[in-house]
Structure 1
C-alpha cells in the first residue's frame, strides 16, 4: 500500500465511509482506517429519504416501520402513524457499516483494518499517522503513513480529537446500551409489533432519556440511554424486555458506547484536521438519531476537504460545520429544549405522551423527521402545537421535578 495520501479518514462508520467514497470518486487518494471489529449500539433507524440522498440500496433495509408507539410511565400508549409520506427504514449496523466501507473501496479508497495509535503534524504541515493492524492482520508491525488532511470520523471517543484538539473539546453525551435479540416468531405476539418502533418514556428505564424497542425483521434492538451516573443500563434493559414480554428471546449480542448529543462549536483545528459524525457531536438531542446526520456529515466533510485541497486554504474546512448548522442547527436547538423540558420527570413524560396523541403534533413530527427540516407550509399548525404544549406545561404543578 502507499504511504502518502491526500486524505486519511479515521473511522469507517456511516460518516467516514461516505466521506471516503465521495473523495475517492472525485479523484483524491484516500485511506480509510477502521478497526473492523466494533458495532455501535444503535436502533438502526433511517428516514426513507436517506435511500435517495445517499444512494442506499433498499436491500440493506431489514424492515420498514410505518408507525411509532410512545409509551408513558403509566403504560399509556399512543400510536403515531406515518401515513403515505414515507417510512422509517431499519438497518443492522453489523451489515450496514461494512456495506458502506465496501462502497468506499470500490470507489477507489484504500482500506486499512487497524487502530490509530499516534498522530502528529510534521514540519512540512502534513500529518504523520501510526496505525496498529487489527483483525486478521493483528500482531503485525505498525503502519506509518502520511496524509495532507485527516477526517476524524472515529466516534464519540475519537482518537483524532484526543491527539489534535484540547482535552476540553468534546461534546456532552449520554451512555447508550442495547441488546440485539431474536424477534418473536409471531410479529404480533404479546403486544409486540414487527412493523412499529416503541419509544418508552419511563424514569425507571431512563431518568433523562428513553428506552426503545426497534424491530429489525428477524432481530430486534432493545435498549436505553442515560447520562445519570449509577443508572444501570443493563438492569434497565432487562426490565424493559420483561415489561414487553421479550425476556425469553435469545440475546444475539450486547453493545454499549457513549452517545454525543450536542454539536461541537468547532469541528476543525484550523489547519489540517476535520471532525465529523459522532466525533463532532452530530447526534440529534431528544431522539438520539445519528445515522442520517452522520452520512450527511460525511458528504459535507468531503466537500470541505476537497475545497481545501484545491485552494490550499485551511479555512475551507469550516464549510462542513457552517453548512450543517445552517440547515439543521435550529432543529437540534428545538430538540435540545424539548429534551430538557419533557424528560425531566415522569410527570412531565406523562404529559409529553399525552401531547403526542394530537394530530398536529404527529403530522409535524413525521414531516420534520422524514424531510429533515422544519415544516413551514402550515404556520397555524405550529401555533396550535405551541398553545397545546403550553397547556400541558401549565397542568403540571409548580416545583414538580
Structure 2
C-alpha cells in the first residue's frame, strides 16, 4: 500500500491505500523460500452462505484456512480475493480433543483478542509460521490515550517505517514542583531520539502487516468464550461481528487464545487471572499555532508535582500537527480532571489559545497480573499488566510481549503442526520475566522513592541535571537494558540525592503543607 497524509476537522492522519490485488501474488514464507500462488479474481459469481460474516485476510491461502469439514473458516468460491467467511454452522466447528504435543491433521488455530501492538505482533508471528490465525479487534480506528513515545530500539527491532513517526524528540525538559527546569538530551548521539507516534497510526500499520502475513482480521467485539469439550478441547469464541452493514453473532472455534485486549481484559476475567492496581491516564490533543508548535518541534516536557499528579507526572508531547497534554494517577482517580487543569496551567503560554481537538481517557495497569497463563490461554500487553512504573511506558513492552508469545507458539507447535499446552506457553513467560524483571523492579523502586512527595520530586529533577544520570537513563530507555553504572559515580550520585532530598524537605517545612485535589 501507499501512505498518504490528509487533514480533517479532528486532526491529521495517515492511511494506507491498498493497491488492487493481483491475480498472482509472490510471498516469502518464514523460512525465506519464495513461492507463488494464484488468488481468486473478484467478480466470479457466487453468493455467501446465509448468516455468514466476512473477515479480511488478503494473503490467506486456501490450504491454510481449513479445507476439512471441521474448519470454522471456509474459502468462498468466487469471493473477492483474500476474503474468508466465518461460518456459524456447528458442523463446521472443531470438535476433536487433542492432547498436548499431539500431531495435527490441520494447522494449529489461534485467536488473538485485541488488535493493538501486542495483538498485532502476536498475530504476525503466528501467521508467518503457517498457523491459522484470527485477530479480533472491536475498533479499527481506536485512538488510545497514550503519550505515544517509543524507544529507538523498537523502530529498528520492529522495522517501523519513518512515515509513522510524527516527531523525533532529542530534547526534554524536566520541570520540578517549583518550576525549576532541567534540560535533558546533551548526552544523546546525533542519530539517537525518542519516536513520537499516534496510536491510531501505529496500531493500524501493525495490524495491516499481520494481515499481509496471513492473519485473518475480524472487526468485532469479543463477548466471551467456553470449552465445550473439556480443558483439552477447543475454545468457542463468542463474537459480535461488525463486518458488513449489520452486527452479527459469530461462533469461532480455536485451539489457543491470546488475550491482548487491554487493562479491562475479558480474556483475563474468564481465566480468573486476578486484578491489579491501575492508573487513569487522561490526555487532551491540543492544536496550537505554528510558532508555538515550532517550540515543540523536537522537544518534550515532563512536569512533576502534587498539583499535576500525586504519584505520576504530567506531559506535553509533540505529535504531527498538535501536542498531547496529559497526566495520570493511581491513588486519586476522582481528581483526574483537576490534575489535567493543572498541567495546562503549568504549560501556560506555550499552549495558550490552543484548540482541544480530542479528549481521551483509559486505564493503565500498574503491575503484572497474578496469573498470565492458564491452560491454552496466554495474556500479553496491558492485559498481562506490562506497563512500567515511574515512566508509564507500555507500547514497546506490549509489542515485545506479543512477539515473544507468538514466537513461543510457533516454535513449540513446530510451525503449527502439533498441539500445544500450558507448559509450552510458559516458555514465553519464563523468557519475558528473565529479560525484563530487572527493568520493572528498578522503575518500581524509583517511583516509590521520588514520586512520594514534592521534596523528593525536587531532588529527582535536580538529579536529572547530572550528565551521568542522563546517559544512564537514556541508554536504559532507548535500548531497553538496565545499564551497569560506575561504582564511584553511583556513590557520588547517592550522596547528592540524599542532600537534595534533605534540602527539599527543609524547604517544604518552611513553606507549609501542599494541597492535593479531591481529598478530604
Q: Give the TM bin, normalised by the shorter chain.
A: over 0.9
Q: Does 1:297 align with 2:401?
A: yes
Aligned twin of 1:186: 291
Quick one: distance in 2 between partners of 1:54 and 1:11?
A: 19
Is 1:328 paired with 2:432?
A: no
Cα distance, 1:235 vs structure 2: 3.1
- Of the three residues 346, 351, 362, the one matched with 1:243 is 346
Give the match for residue 6 of structure 1: 109
- The question of whether the paired residues in 1 share the 8 Å contact of 2:293 and 2:322 is answered with no
Residue 140 of structure 1 and its aligned partner are, at CA, apart by 2.3
Q: Give the secondary structure class of the aligned counterpart of 1:142.
A: strand
Q: Is the 8 A contact 1:308 1:314 kept in 2?
A: no
Other-structure match for 1:373: 481
RMSD across aligned C-alpha pairs, in angstroms?
A: 2.1
How far 1:137 moved relative to its partner? 3.9
The aligned counterpart of 1:339 is 447
**Aligned match of 1:63:** 167
Q: Distance in 2 between matches of 1:323 and 1:76?
A: 41
Displacement of 1:74 in angstroms is: 0.6
Task: State the shift of 1:14 in Å.
Answer: 0.5
CA-to-partner distance for each residue in 1:263-309, whole Å, 9 max, x for gaps? Answer: 2243101x110000000110111000111111110111112222443
| Structure 2 residue aligned with 1:267 | 372
CA distances 1:74-124 after superposition (whole Å, capped 9, x unpaired): 111111115206110011112111111111100100000111111112315
Question: Which one has a bigger Cα radius of gyration?
Answer: 2
**Normalised TM-score (structure 2):** 0.72
Shift of 1:138: 6.4
Aligned-residue offset at 1:187: 4.4
Residue in 2 that maps onto 1:170: 275
TM-score under structure 1 length normalisation: 0.92
Distance in 2 (alpha carbons) for counterparts of 1:230 and 1:151: 30
Cα deviation, residue 228, structure 1: 2.5
**1:258 has 2:366 as partner:** no
| Displacement after TM superposition at 1:376 (Å) | 2.4
Corresponding position: 1:233 with 2:340: no
Q: Deviations over 1:161-182 (max 9, x none)?
A: 111225xx12221110101121
Per the alignment, residue 224 of structure 2 pairs with 118
- TM-fit CA distance, 1:218: 1.1
Q: Which moved more, 1:232-241 or 1:96-105?
A: 232-241
CA spacing shift, 1:284–1:11, aligned 2, 3 Å: same
Between 1 and 2, higher relative CO (CA 8 Å, sep ≥ 6) is seen in: 1
Which residue of structure 1 aligns with residue 424 of structure 2? 316
Q: Partner of 2:312: helix, strand, or coil?
A: coil
Which aligned pairs between 1:354-369 and structure 2 lie closer than 5 A?
354-369=462-477
How many residues end up aligned between the 2 structures?
Answer: 395
- 2:150 and 2:293 map into 1 onto residues whose CA distance is 23
Q: Deviations over 1:56-77 (max 9, x none)?
A: 1111101110021111111111
In structure 1, stretches of 5+ residues that fail to align are none
Q: CA deviation at 1:395?
A: 4.1
**CA, structure 1 residues 380+22, in 2 after alignment: closer, same or farther (shift >3 Å)?**
farther
2:192 matched to which residue of 1?
86
Q: 1:339 to 1:360 in 2, by over 3 A?
A: same
- Residue pair 1:70, 1:77 contacting (<8 A) in 2 also: yes
Deviation at 1:344, TM superposition (A): 1.1
Distance 2:426 2:346 in 1: 47
Sort the Cα spacing of 1:210 and 1:63 in 2 relative to 1 into closer, same or farther, 3 A.
Answer: same
Structure 2 CA distance for aligned equivalents of residues 187 and 397 of structure 1: 36
Aligned with 1:232: secondary structure? helix
Query: Is the 1:307–1:316 contact (alpha carbons within 8 Å) kept by the matching residues of 2?
Result: no
Evaluate the alpha carbon distance shift between residue 266 and residue 288 of structure 1 in structure 2; reply closer, same or farther with a 3 A threshold: same
C-alpha distance in 1, partners of 2:281/2:305? 16
8 A Cα contact 2:174 2:461, kept in partner? yes
Q: Which residue of the partner structure matches residue 251 of structure 2? A: 144
Unmatched 5+ residue regions in structure 2?
Answer: 1-54, 56-72, 74-85, 87-93, 95-107, 514-520
Deviations 1:309-357 (A, max 9, x none): 3463421211222212211111111111111111111121111111111
